[in-house]
Structure 1
Amino acid sequence: MKPNTGDIYCVFVEQLQRYAACQVTRIEEKTKPLAAVLELDWTGDKLPTEEELDKMKPLYCDYYFWNNRLDHSYVTAQVPKHYIFAGNRPPLITEETNSYTANWHIGRSIVSQLKWQSIPEARRRSFKEAAKDNTPVVVGDVQLARSTSAVNHVALRQFSDLSVLEQFPCLTRIAADRPYESLLPFVNGNPFIYELQLENHGCTSIDLRSSSLERLILQADGLEELYLNKEVTFLSLTGTPSPKLKIHAENGGQWLTAAFTDNAPPVCGLERLAGLHVTGAKELDLELIVRSYPHLKELRLWGKPGNVVNLQQLEQLTNLTIFSTYDMFGFSGEAFPGPDRLPDLTWLWMTSLPADAAKAIKDKYKKEVPKGLDLSITKPRKPEWLAENLNNPFRDWDGREHITAVQAKKAMNQYKKTLAAMSALPEQIRSGGLTAAEAESALDALVSDYTKAFNQMDRRSCFIETVEREEIYTVLEDLLSGAQETLSAAGIEVDADKLFDTFDKLRDF
């Protein structure tokens, strides 16, 4: 459904168990039309009456670091299926916005605003006052502003006593990489901490029921029991979850999105899980996922690349509204359920998938776009491409908008050439054909060649931007990590910092 300027739409917000509302204030007619959407200060247990529509006002937000700010952003001018047209009124604001978001998210700000207002006023006032205060606070060798909102594991290591965190009233995010006896009590007692990253915690049981967390990124190794608070909406478990792991979440995870690496654990307590993300997948059986998480509304799968079987089981997820894949293969278009089997689907994005499946799925769903489906089927891959790119870390460059096929091919070949040369070094050392000093010199030369190759590629078209620069660095990091491991077994220690210095000195991108 295409919106019009002034249209007011309502959507049911699960966390509130009420309807929220928004208004389209402007339409930008571009190649892909955009709609400026404003969240409104209204909720109701049923759709609004004409009288209520006349009284609606913009939602002015002051939660956390927002100060009397509107939630007003451009989104794709395609109303999602589950949004309900309530009426049309002259736009409540005429100011333009320079904010853009990926999708319609009405209700998010009103949930945050209500949560903020539930915090005692004195604490809220202290937060707002500190947000303007950049007075330095010195703790050990660390100096942080009083307005600091995030503390990472490097800073935490400098604190002999975590009670020092009380000096930062605006603290909202903490990242720790070792056990701290007082950390969890602090998080449980602070209403402003909405994100916690925790690694190497050494706990078999973690209880966060008294916290106000919204996001939790947690190393799962050794963990057997996890108690979550009601407000948490995103849980990412890294490492290897224990088969004994039991997660206690509000209503079995009814409002929770969980992210796992490689695969999703079968039964772990999240029987009503709303959203599931699987990254780095190699082999996925959708039948097992559906059996463990039958109430999913969102399912996103990222391959390494990976294969997925029993894709037809998607039709069992009758509440599914969002489905996306990236670098996932092993299925046909016939296996993908049609629109009649997934009637609530509002978002279908599949990138880098079998070419025949891409065409069949696009044909099945293109008629759903005018009805509110956000459809994107891109980078169809033929079997020959997959065979060649299975172990190519630059495979995503093939089909990227500003990168040519020739540049993607050159990047892949440079990776393969560098990997082969580095992999040959240990045998050359063991056979006596290479000394330790010569191996070190050879590595430096390989890093130089790797860097110069990308300099040469970028010289004419300057296609290497921030994302590509990070990818080139990450690939080199993986190459040197592998070299460190194999050469260490051959009795040679690699100075990676020195090699990265070579990379930084030579690179022009």
Structure 2
Amino acid sequence: MSVRKQEVPPRPLRVGDLVAAYSRGLGEWTVAQIVRLDADSQTAAVLELDWSGSEPSCVADLGDVAPLRLTHHSWNGALSFCNHTWVLPRSHKVVGAMPLFHDEPANCWASGWNLGDQLARQRRWNSGVRGDPVVAWKAAYTGETVNEFLSQSTAPRSEVTQLTIRDIDSLDCAQLVQRFPRLAWLHLQGRLGLLSAAGELNRLVSLQGIRIIDLFGMTREDRLQPQCVAKLESVDLYSIPAEYASAMHSVWRPEIPAGTYVSILRARKPEWVEENRSNPLREWDGREQISATTYKRAVAQYKTTRNAILQVFVAEPADIQLTRAEEIGRAYGEAFNRLDRRSVFIETVEREELFAALDHIVNEAEARYGPGLEGARDSLISGVEFVRDW
């Protein structure tokens, strides 16, 4: 049975409304106008205004306001105008309404509201500052560097409110919370990595937004609880354990009318994680232009190629290895020629990923049999290049 789309935003919102929000970049409140609402895409076209100041309670507190025009970098006077999800974040409020400053459709889309960011950049530009400032409240790490930092005996970084960690193989959330206790925005991206003690994230009482991608180990008991993280206004989860996804969906979907955006996609069963941990093409699963059948055939061909290359270094003498590697490369290229002819799907990104998959195979072979296989790598690539149509 199809799910009926909402006809109006979950939080009351109308065309012409002025929305106010506090901007960390400005250190003040700012405002924007709702120009359009689209029920099909469930988006709001939002026009930022050139205003900041103390928290307003009504339109009269704003005085004279005008749309924000951007001249920084290469904007050339364009309006700061963009489509956002129409879930009005719980930290934002409607202070009244005014006649529309602009009524054309917006032609850009943003993943978060982030009101005030463009105004802060414009004001820096107007003052002669051409680069973005380094701010103490933002921090970014790789999984390796953050684990090294967490292992040290240092004071908590309480000034950090926005944290991004990529390429995570494993991460202890208890240590993370202890070292970064005042996080408002947390972005964690793994490589089918493991999050332990994920329930400890409930101690982040200032948390407003969380994004978790390609990380596992979380259970139903680790779900974030509204009574613990009462300010949470964005839950963005992609490729996470099915049990955790179900629990988070159950808890946070009722919070959407209060101003929490919820997107939970690609809930994974444990067997999928085990099967795909060493699969460099796993990101193709569910990609828009790649059907399930094409994905399965692509993975099967990758596995065939991997097994053939590893077998070469087990069974073939050194003087035969380069020739066999080139033959295997040709077979790989021809197989994906056939797949692409059936349903054109290999574009620039997919082409790079197919070559990266071959690198993955050779790197695995070097880890098993020792370094010095660059000749085999070159022969493998040469075979692909000789025949590929993609």
* Structure 2 length-normalised TM: 0.88
1:407 has 2:288 as partner: no
2:111 counterpart of 1:65: no
**What one-letter code is carried by the residue in structure 1 that aligns with 2:255?**
E
Residue matched to 1:217: none
* 8 Å contact kept, 2:143–2:169: no
Paired position in structure 1 for 2:222: 335
What are the residue-to-residue correspondences of 1:270-285 with 2, within 5 Å? 270-285=157-172
Q: Deviations over 1:254-277 (max 9, x none)?
A: 2x1323234622247733211222
Is the Cα contact below 8 Å between 2:326 and 2:382 reproduced in 1? no
CA contact (8 A) 1:426 1:486 kept: no
Partner of 1:467: 349
Matches within 5 A, 1:313-462: 313-428=200-315, 433-436=316-319, 438-462=320-344
Q: What amino acid sits opposite 1:295 in the alignment?
A: R
Structure 1 position 385, deviation (Å): 1.6
> How many residues matched?
375
Change (3 A) 1:344 1:466: farther
Aligned to 2:5: none
Distance 1:470 1:449 in 2: 18
- 1:95 maps to 104
Aligned position for 1:238: none
Alpha-carbon distance in structure 1 between the residues aligned to 2:326 and 2:12: 57
Q: Is the counterpart of residue 25 in structure 1 residue 35 in structure 2?
A: yes
CA 1:279 to 1:331, structure 2 compared with 1: closer, same or farther past 3 Å?
same
SS in 2 for 1:475: helix
Q: 1:494 aligns with which of 349, 370, 375?
A: 375
- Counterpart of 1:476, as a letter, is L
CA contact under 8 A between 2:143 and 2:167: conserved in structure 1? yes
> Secondary structure of 1:334's match?
helix
> Structure 1 355/263 Cα, relative in aligned 2: closer, same or farther at 3 Å?
farther
Q: Aligned runs of 1:185-196 on 2, under 5 Å?
A: 191-192=129-130, 194=131
- Structure 1's unaligned 5+ residue stretches are 120-190, 195-213, 215-230, 234-252
Partners of 2:59 and 2:97 within 8 A in 1: no
Structure with larger RCO (C-alpha < 8 A, sep 6+): 2
Instruction: Sort the Cα spacing of 1:486 and 1:380 in 2 relative to 1 into closer, same or farther, 3 A.
Output: closer
Alpha-carbon displacement from aligned partner over 1:59-85 (angstroms, at most 9, x marks no partner)? 112122222221111111111111111
> Tell me, what secondary structure is at the counterpart of 1:494?
helix
Post-superposition shift, 1:403? Answer: 2.7
1:232 aligns with 2:134: yes
Q: In percent, how many aligned pairs have the same letter?
A: 30
1:506 aligns with 2:384: no
Q: CA separation in 1, counterparts of 2:82 and 2:194?
A: 37
Provide the residue aligned with 2:114 in structure 1: 105
Task: Report the aligned-residue RMSD.
Answer: 2.3
The answer as to whether partners of 1:57 and 1:92 remain within 8 angstroms in 2 is yes
Per-residue deviation, residues 422-450 of structure 1 (Å, max 9, x unmatched): 2233333xxxx4242x2111111111222
2:44 aligns with 35
Q: Out of 267, 276, 288, which is 2:175 matched to?
A: 288
Alpha-carbon separation, structure 2, partners of 1:64 and 1:422: 49
How far off is 1:320 after superposition?
Answer: 0.7
For 1:344 and 1:493, the matched residues in 2 are separated by: 53
Q: Provide the residue aligned with 1:15 in structure 2.
A: 25
Q: Is residue 329–residue 382 contact of structure 2 (8 Å, CA) maintained in 1?
A: no
Query: Partners of 2:370 and 2:271 in 1: how far apart?
Result: 36
More moved, 80-89 vs 276-285: 276-285
* Residue 191 of structure 2 is aligned to residue 304 of structure 1: yes
Contact 1:263 1:281 in 2 (8 A): no
What secondary structure sits across from 1:258 in the alignment? strand
Structure-1-length-normalised TM-score: 0.69
Change (3 A) 1:415 1:91: same
SS of 2:341's equivalent in the other structure is helix
SS in 2 for 1:55: coil
- Higher helix fraction: Structure 1 or Structure 2? 2
- Classify the secondary structure of the residue corresponding to 2:51: strand
Q: Name the SS for the 1:63 alignment partner.
A: coil
Q: Secondary structure at the match of 1:23?
A: strand
Gaps of 5+ in 2: 1-10
1:464-491 CA-partner distances (Å, limit 9, x unpaired): 34432332222223334455677774x6
